[in-house]
Amino acid sequence: MFSFLLLEGQGAARGKLEGTRRYENSPFTGLCYPVVGDAYRARALHLNRHGLYAWDGEGWVRARIPTWDAPFTALSHFALMD
């Protein structure tokens, strides 16, 4: 089991990133651990071999792009950075 924790700027827990599926969203799938935050747009992103996932500032899933569908298969070869 896993959970992505949503933190405030000072490090206090604000909540968690909701809507995750046990297998498909898991950071252990393909050893893809990074979750990247975009503070300006209040977004969090995670990429693993199953898809690219985006959450809003409240922790709710806003987008899932499956990497097994063309033309997004190339995304599974990238890594999220700042």
Using DSSP, state whether 19 is helix, strand or coil. coil
Determine the average pLDDT of the residues in 20-45: 74
| Per-domain boundaries in the chain | 5-77
Determine the average pLDDT of the residues in 53-76: 86
What band does 23 get if pLDDT is binned at 50, 70 and 90?
Answer: low
Residue 29: predicted pLDDT: 61
CA atoms within 13 A on the CB side of 30: 16
